[in-house]
Structure 1
Amino acid sequence: MHGWGGFIIACFVFFLSHALPVRPPVKPWLVARFGARGFAWGYSALSVAVLAWLIVAAGRAPVVLLWSGPDWLRHVTLTVMFAVCVILAFTLGRPNPFSFGGTHNERFDPSQPGIVRLTRHPVLLALTLWAGAHLLVNGDLAHAILFGAFAGFALLGGGMITRRKRREMGADYERLWGATRAVPLRLSPTVGTGLRLGVAVILYGVLIALHGPVIGISPLP
């Protein structure tokens, strides 16, 4: 379905797909049948697929222009998107008890917090930057709704998750967060750092290569 109807349906399915699987008792039921790792991979795959559908649906909605920016803003968006890829590369596969999506959170070492030293919610930070960068170069109504909603969701979601985690973890939350923030910022290149930067470069290249075939618009100036 094209037009506003397709966009509205995609929005509804997107938010439904993110709300239902994590609600009790749905999540425990899914985890019991597919395991924690299976649930995480399945939920991630579903999220990516529905997100792609939502972005395509926004591109097919009628164009109602709200603003138009100069072509050099594409360079800003491309630069910010590389930062997004770096954040994601340094986030994936790392424990993070302060937010959602951490792997093996029981192994979190506050003396070696990685990117968590800078932000409790790196995935939400990446989502905010992604949405804000795309708002610069998409001034029509459908994309303004799309990326504005994502930016608002990410900004509000961080506070909601922090409050929930504080309730769940109790005194451990403040103890771990205080120990994490006490670690000085260090720029010490390691093999792991190099590998994650390599992952960021590969992810960035894949996103640029697939943007045209999947979304229908080349991100390059």
Structure 2
Amino acid sequence: MAWSGFIIAYVVFFLSHSLPVRPPLRPWLQRRLGRGGFTLAYSALSLAVLAWLIAAAGRAPHVPLWDWAAWQVYVPLTMMLPVCLILALSIARPNPFSFGGARNARFDPMHPGIVRWARHPLLLALALWSAAHVVPNGDLAHGVLFGTFAVFAGIGGRLIDRRKKREMGAEWHRLRLAVARAPLFSSSVSAVHMLRLSAGVALYAVLIWLHPFLVGVSPLP
């Protein structure tokens, strides 16, 4: 079957993202790997399966959904810069509202950083990345791939909110109200923030350079 490789990769991707984070498997893995080890292993697995899924979409039969136009390449080229900046500002930062937060006990709701703009910045980055890549990939396999990611990011935020409310109780509502009262823009930019922003720009440049080697297509016009 021509679609079998894509279907198998698609199923494995969602199983690998849903099973390890559900009880009793997640507590069992965290006891053996530690919280940091679990996060590292889960992230590595996610990236590996994602690369497999993208490659499988490229090998799937080409069923066009809309015609390609030269302007379409500018959509992901433009949107990937804010995606990289969001990643740089959110990874390994305290965020008790979402997954991927580090040192959450040190979270300051009066200085929440990017959490003031989005409780789930990693999911926001995923949504922007996937929606931007739908535009120049107007075939069925890539439409299913990136469209599903965009929907997954939207639903994922609601599911995480529900779980965190259950786990944190009244503390979740207290922190959310405190974050809402924090200023949208900080009055000062620290050296750490500048370093993270620089890292985001560097990541953007590296992804443009690596794209032909990883995907086989240049992202540049």
Q: CA deviation at 1:26?
A: 1.1
| C-alpha distance in 2 between matches for 1:52 and 1:167 | 33
TM-score, normalised to structure 2's length?
0.96
TM-align CA RMSD? 1.3
1:70 matched to 2:69: yes
2:104 — aligned with what? 105
1:55 matched to 2:54: yes
Aligned residue pairs: how many?
220
1:24 — aligned with what? 23
8 A Cα contact 1:110 1:179, kept in partner: yes
| C-alpha distance in 1 between matches for 2:12 and 2:27 | 21
Question: Is the deviation greater in 162-171 or in 137-146?
Answer: 162-171
1:194 — aligned with what? 194
Q: Could you report, residue by residue, the CA deviation over 1:118-152 in whole angstroms, capped at 9, with x for unpaired residues?
A: 11110111011001000111100000000010001
2:215 — aligned with what? 215
| C-alpha distance in 1 between matches for 2:81 and 2:140 | 26
8 A Cα contact 1:81 1:204, kept in partner: yes
The code of the aligned residue for 1:86 comes to: L
Q: CA deviation at 1:153?
A: 0.6
8 A Cα contact 1:115 1:122, kept in partner: yes
SS in 2 for 1:137: coil
The code of the aligned residue for 1:189 comes to: V
The code of the aligned residue for 1:206 comes to: V
Q: Counterparts in 2 of 1:19-168, with a 5 A limit?
A: 19-168=18-167
| C-alpha distance in 2 between matches for 1:8 and 1:41 | 26
Question: Is the deviation greater in 53-62 or in 102-111?
Answer: 102-111
The code of the aligned residue for 2:184 comes to: L
Q: CA deviation at 1:37?
A: 0.7
1:8 matched to 2:19: no
| C-alpha distance in 2 between matches for 1:41 and 1:75 | 33
> Structure 1: 5+ residue runs without aligned partners?
none
State, as a whole percentage, how many aligned pairs show the same letter.
60
Q: CA deviation at 1:7?
A: 0.4
The code of the aligned residue for 1:32 comes to: R
